[in-house]
Amino acid sequence: MNMMDGATQASMSAACLAGARKRYGRVEALAGFDLALIRGEVLALLGANGAGKSTAIGLMLGLIAPDAGQVELFGLAPQSLAARRRIGVMLQSAALPDTSTVGELLEATRAYYSAPLSITECESLAGLQGLSKRRYGKLSGGQQRRVQFALAICGDPQLLFLDEPTTGLDIEARQQIWLAIKQLRARGVAVLLTTHYLEEAEALADRVVVIDRGRSIAEGSVDVIRAKVSGQRIRCRSRLDIAVVLGWPGVVQATREGEYLVLRVDDAVRALPPLLAADPALSDLEISRAGLADAFLAITRESNEELRA
Ligand SMILES: Nc1ncnc2c1ncn2[C@@H]1O[C@H](COP(=O)(O)OP(=O)(O)OP(=O)(O)O)[C@@H](O)[C@H]1O
């Protein structure tokens, strides 16, 4: 039972899209999309390329107007200055002056806010120590991404939009950003995260919304979404034909990742004997429980099958 009254719910709301529609010519980018983000929560918005994620973010940032539906940040219009001062944004690409140093960029951005984070806090959260005198244009792609993250958080936002924040980062830099996101969440910051790295959603998200063709097709905690897919995942190096393997009882899904065969099966103990018998050269066998990536594939496939039916 939800114990929060209407006023408490409104004061907890960081962002809300209700029945949002947006059409570009023949493409319906959002087809009645709902999303509610509360304070202190990390919500991962997952969807294939073209599903409508950037359009949803564009509406919440007030960059584009919906054809229909409501968009609010903290109960305010997204274009209002009061709402904009409370958000931080890291989009997929950023145009920053190449000749400015990291320190100058941070100073200039902090100056927009009345109570920004200290330079030291920004540098330590984003892993930028030692880079403040370096020119932005001379940084590596990963370092530039970290600067963009620092600029997104430097105003001490209550709501942070992170559109594929760790694309192109190495493992250490990715973990640094993950740690920063966890620290910000612990301070009550709401985070809307889009990512194509499902392990990122798995590591960070309190809640996941799966969007497909402009509609929300699944919503819940990582565990709830993962539970939509039962069974186990088998990964092994094998040349077996996926069409053949798919015909075996208990094999729900079969895909190829280079030399590897990846199966989702009802029960690995039953699936293994025919697999080993069919390919004596099989190697590098791994068995794990089905993860968010499997759930995501299954949910979007089901949704596509329903649309075709
Ligand atoms: N300005 C635009 N003009 C025309 N079509 C657009 C425009 N912006 C988006 N679209 C279309 O709307 C649909 C949703 O696009 P959107 O960028 O929101 O998807 P996405 O989920 O963010 O994709 P990606 O993961 O590739 O970034 C796509 O079919 C896209 O081609």
The structure tokens listed for 290 are 């089905």
Note the pLDDT tens digit of each residue in 35-72: 999 999 999 999 888 899 999 999 999 999 999 999 99
Do 131 and 140 touch, CB atoms closer than 8 A? no
Residue type, 182: K
Q: Which residues line ligand 1 (CB under 6 A)?
A: 24, 27, 29, 47, 49-55
Query: How many angstroms is it from 194 CA to the middle of ligand 1?
Result: 14
pTM of the model: 0.82
Check: complex ipTM more than 0.85: yes
Residue 1's pLDDT is 43
Q: Determine the distance separating the centroid of ligand 1 and the alpha carbon of 268, expressed in angstroms.
A: 39
Nearest C-alpha to atom 28 of ligand 1 is from which residue?
Answer: 50
| Residue of minimum CA distance from atom 6 in ligand 1 | 24
- Which atom in ligand 1 lies closest to the alpha carbon of residue 22? 12
CA dihedral 50, 157, 172, 136 (to 10 degrees): 90
| CB atoms near residue 194 (< 10 Å) | 23
Task: Give me the average pLDDT of each 10-residue run along the chain (309 residues).
Answer: 55 91 96 95 91 94 95 95 93 89 95 92 92 94 92 96 89 91 95 88 92 91 80 92 91 91 90 93 91 77 71
Q: How far is CA 259 from the centre of its chain?
A: 28
Domains and CATH numbers, the chain: 37-53+75-209+219-226 (3.40.50.300), 230-290 (3.30.70)
Q: Which atom of ligand 1 is nearest to the CA of 211?
A: 21
Q: Tokens in use for 304?
A: 């596509």
Burial bucket for residue 100 (CB in 10 Å: 0-12, 13-18, 19+): middle
Query: What percentage of the chain's residues is helix, strand, coil (to nearest 5)?
Result: 35, 30, 35
How many of the other CB atoms lie within 10 Å of CB of 186? 9
Q: What radius of gyration do the chain's Cα atoms show?
A: 22
Nearest CA to ligand 1 atom 2: 24
Residue 59 Cα to ligand 1 midpoint, Å, equals 12
Q: Using the mean position of ligand 1's atoms as its centre, give its distance from the Cα of residue 4 in Å.
A: 36
Greatest Cα pair distance, the chain, in angstroms, is 68
Atom of ligand 1 nearest to the CA of 56: 18
